[in-house]
């Protein structure tokens, strides 16, 4: 059974903290994605990676960075968390030919910044 696992379901952090959200997939997928989900705004792409150490910015990369040191792991980093980064974060992965293959999602991490 295919799996995308996010390290935490719920996370509470303080303003200014450095926050790491971890995502691991066991399907040997090349592509990995980080999305942010907010009511009325849908799923917005933060960053995308198509290979180890490779990354591309999505629509809303400001305030975030990513790390992909191993194929199966894609980390989202909030350099200095702010209250407007309170949101649901979803990780997804797909095969290299993402144009015609489905993406698999993790269960999401609900981050609250206080």
Partner 1 sequence: QQPVQSPQAVILREGEDAVINCSSSKALYSVHWYRQKHGEAPVFLMILLKGGEQKGHEKISASFNEKKQQSSLYLTASQLSYSGTYFCGTIDQTGANNLFFGTGTRLTVIP
Q: Does 101 bind partner 1 (CB under 8 A)?
A: yes
Taking contact as CB under 8 A, which single stretch among the options 17-25, 41-49, 69-77, 79-87 is the one that binds partner 1? 41-49
Taking contact as CB under 8 A, which single stretch among the options 12-20, 28-36, 62-70, 73-81 is the one that binds partner 1? 28-36
Q: Does 54 bind partner 1 (CB under 8 A)?
A: no
Question: Three-state SS string across the chain, please?
Answer: CCCEEECCCEEEECCCCCEEEEEEECCCCCEEEEEEEECCCEEEEEEEEEECCEEEECCCCCCEEEEEEECCEEEEEECCCCHHHCEEEEEEEECCCHHHCCCEECCCEEEEEC
Taking contact as CB under 8 A, which single stretch among the options 21-29, 65-73, 77-85, 92-100 is the one that binds partner 1? 92-100
Q: Which parts of this chain interact with partner 1 (CB under 8 A)?
A: 4, 31, 33, 35, 40-45, 48, 50, 56, 58-59, 90, 92, 94, 96-108
């Amino acid at each position: 059974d295919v799996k995308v696992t996010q390290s935490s379901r719920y996370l509470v952090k303080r303003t200014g903290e450095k926050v790491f959200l971890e995502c691991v997939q066991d399907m040997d997928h090349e592509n990995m994605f980080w999305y942010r989900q907010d009511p009325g705004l849908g799923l917005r792409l933060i960053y995308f990676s198509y290979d180890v150490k490779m990354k591309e910015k999505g629509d809303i990369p400001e305030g975030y960075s990513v790390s992909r040191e191993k194929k199966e792991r894609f980390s989202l980093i909030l350099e200095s968390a702010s209250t407007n980064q309170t949101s649901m974060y979803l990780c997804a992965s797909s095969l290299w030919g993402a144009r015609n293959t489905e993406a698999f999602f993790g269960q999401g991490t609900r981050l609250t910044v206080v």
